[in-house]
Structure formats: C-alpha cells, structure tokens
Amino acid sequence: MEDLEERPSPEELLELVESVENVEFDVGKGYLTVYFGYAPGVGKTYSMLYDAHLLLEKGIDIVVGYVETHGRAETEALLKDLEIIEPVIYDYKGLKLKEVNYEKIIQRKPQIVIIDELPHTNPPGFPEEKRYQSIKRVLQAGIDVFTAMNVQHLESLKDLIYQITGVEVKESVPDPFIKDAKEIKLIDLPPEELLVRLSEGKVYVKDMAEEARRRFFKIGNLIALRTLALRVVADQLDQKLKNYLRRRGISAPLGFKEKILVGVYASPYASQLVRATYRIASELGGVEWVALFVETEKSKDFTEEEKKWLERALDLARRLGGRVERIKGKNVAQEIISYAKREGITKIVLGKPRREGALTGSIYKKLILETEGIDIYLIAPRVKAELPKTPEKKGFGRYLDILRRYFG
C-alpha cells in the first residue's frame, strides 16, 4: 500500500504528457515543439499553421518565420491572417535564396515563431551551418519555436534509413536536439492514404510524384518509416516519464512500453535463451529488448569454446534486432539489477535452474527480492546442448561447472 501511495496519480501522469515541468529547461529559454512525421505529405506544416490560428484566437502572439508549402493550396490558405516575418535574401552563385531573418525575429520577440524544415542547411556565409543551430539562438532569446521534420532526418537513423529505402539522406538533425524538445507532436497518416494524396498531386506535382512513388513512396518503405517515427515519439515520452518518476524518488519502472533484458552468459544454452527472449518480445508487439553480459574477473578464464558460445549468442541478439550491452562488474546480480532500474527494464529473462536449491542461491534470490515491479522469466532449454564427444576430464568438468552456474 505504501508503494501505491508513492506512485503518481493518473491526473499527474496526464499533466506530464501534456506539459513538461520547467526544471527540465533553462530559465528564460524558449520551448521547442517539433511536428514529427514519417514522410513528406503527412500534414506537418498544415498542422503547425492550423494550431497557429487556434493560438492566435486565444491572443497568443505567434508569427511565421519560414514556411514551405510546396504549392499545396490548402496549406497556403492557412497563411492568411498570420503575420509573416519577411525573409532575408542571400546571393549564392547568381541565385536569390530566401532565408529566415533570425535577427528580425529576435528583435520582434513574439511568443512563438514558426520555422519550418528543421533539417535545412544554411547557405555559405550564414552565421550557423544548420537551421537547427540558428533556431537555438531564437530559443536562447526566450522565444518558443514550432518546427517540423521527418524521421529519416534523425542523425542516428541515417544508416538504417538507407538500408530500408536505398536513399541516402544528406541533411540530418542530432538526436539530442529533438529529445530536448518540450513536445514532439506526431503527425500521422496511414500509408495508403498518403499514397492517395500523392496520386492526387497533393504532395508533389505530377512528374515529381511519379518519381517519388518509384524511388521512395513504396508501401513497404512507408510502413517501416512510420514504425520508426512511432518509436521515436514513444521513446521521448518514456524518457520524460522516467525523469518525472526519478524526481519523485520512485525507482520502480512505470512506462508506456515494455522493455526486456536477457542475461547472457558463456553457456551452450545462451543462444536458445536469446531466441526465447526474441519470441517474448515479438509476442508483446515487437517491444525493445537488450542482451546484457556482465564481465567479471572469472570471464578472463573462459575457454575458446566458452568465448564462442558467448559471441554466438550476442551476434544472434544483434541479428534479431536486440541491443547488446557489455558491462564490467564484480557482482553479476547487482549489475543486472542496477542496469534494469536505470534503463526502465520491465522484464528480465534468465536461464531456468535445474538443481534443487538453486532458486535460493545468491544470484536468483537477489534478483527476485531486489527487482520490485520487474517480472522475472526463467526459461528452460528446449534443445540439449551439443558438447564435445571426447572431452578431457578437466574440460568436461568445466562444462558441467558452466551448466551448474548458469542453469543450476
């Protein structure tokens, strides 16, 4: 009952979702809101301008610093009645380039300014190389910024995006800049509806639409990108919740998604354990999972066979989409517990002990008693491990010792 009284109420959690406490931001610093999508045409800019009109009706001083409508009539119509800060013109190789007039925005000092196309690269000679760096100046001036971007422009996802789409993204935004945003608003649209919009010319003009459909707007690409966008938003919200709970002194994991940890050891059954964890994660809807190996002094004595068992299991975890972590420590159980609490783990998977009294042993007992709020799964090996046929007595004794240590 005492633990329940320490947990935040539903009203407090709702308040967390809708706004972030001021302690997470510098005093006097403007707030960043990112309208986040998985592909062009889902409605990010439209949503920003629509929200701008709602805020304007409430008396909020909001202006437009830069908006890219891509010639979409319904988006252009929303610019009506909004104050637009005239852009500054830059000459670049005979071209007249319109850029955001940051100095004028800071001088005007509205409550909120809309600056579209966050991943944009500034022209040569500009004070900052990237638009997100220029937006930092506006935020430091105490002005809130609304901006927009797609998931493929996150720096950490560049390689993955290339594997999925075959398209190399040139412009990117560092992940920490997005994670520090006050709010990430997911602007979502089913891929099938986006393809209809594309065919109707509401995303690009006809010739560009055909090229986009052939290269980028494939249904498989869109589904994959949409999944990534959903995960990014979920991660940001989950991190805010963990920060909130940490400030409340609550260590028990209470998140919006499951997160699984599998303890991996140099055992012939390690790969089976990894596969079992992958199945659990899949059954829960493809949730995040991590394979953790705790390296102790005993790890230095691993035989070549033991090293192969370990690396084979860790490689398998990577191939199945899990994250692999290797940490050093003196006490395996304590390192697992500390990692689980720090990372918001909700389930821990271990090998099932097979001898009497193993559950009361130090590792299992400590994990069960000191992981309140975390489920413990004990997985029995499905297939008998294949050991060397003619091992030396010392080697065979070592294999038995490994099995006892890992499975009891």
Residue 57 binned pLDDT confidence (cut-offs 50, 70, 90): very high
Q: For 233, list phi and psi in degrees, rounded to 5.
A: -65, -40
**End-to-end alpha-carbon separation of the chain, Å?**
35
Name the 3-class secondary structure at 60.
Answer: coil
Residues 6+ apart with CB under 8 A from 64: 49, 52, 79, 82, 83, 84, 85, 113, 114
Range with lowest mean pLDDT among 124-138, 199-213, 244-258: 244-258
Residues 6+ apart with CB under 8 A from 404: 355
What pTM was computed for the model? Answer: 0.60
Residue 143 binned pLDDT confidence (cut-offs 50, 70, 90): very high
Q: Is the pLDDT of residue 110 over 90?
A: yes
| Model pLDDT, residue 2 | 38
Q: How far is CA 148 from the centre of its chain?
A: 17
Half-sphere exposure of 142 (CA within 13 A, CB side): 6
| Model pLDDT, residue 138 | 97
Average pLDDT on 292-306 reads 92
